[in-house]
Amino acid sequence: MQTSLLPTPEGSQPCFVLPIRVYYEDTDAAGVVYYANYLRFCERARTEWLRALGFDQRGLLAEGNAAFVVRSVHADYLAPARLDDRLVVANTLHDLHGASVFFTQRVLREHDQTLLFVADIKIVCVNLDQGRSMRWPESIYAKISAQLQASPTP
């Protein structure tokens, strides 16, 4: 899917879009996506975005014992997704600091672009040995920063 089809309310473009299919395991007894699974979809999209930048979680752990953890989430559930729906998860970067990055992640139904879910998420880089936040490894910071600067804004 082309990201140009998914403008954010602020007018900036997503930095990454991941297609998702809703499976039976994603739904509740009513046949709609269970609320917590939207957060799982967002996690997958952030992980695949990181992979597209050339990094993977296992490599970060081995290299510097660094991990990305969710510090905060503000989520709005706007409409239900149902079994077998094709969805897209759009990641939009907003801000980058020495140890954190801020995203808006949106889940849309692919065929009609209905906005189903939106979350503002703060991710922090953590040193697992110390259990504390740490500065991004320079290689990651540089790529995220370049992507943030390349994003068109209104």
Which residues are known catalytic residues?
Answer: 28
Distance (Å, whole) CA 23 – CA 66? 32
Q: How many CB atoms lie within 10 A of CB 31?
A: 12
Q: Are 6 and 108 in contact (CB under 8 A)?
A: yes
Q: Are 14 and 118 in contact (CB under 8 A)?
A: no
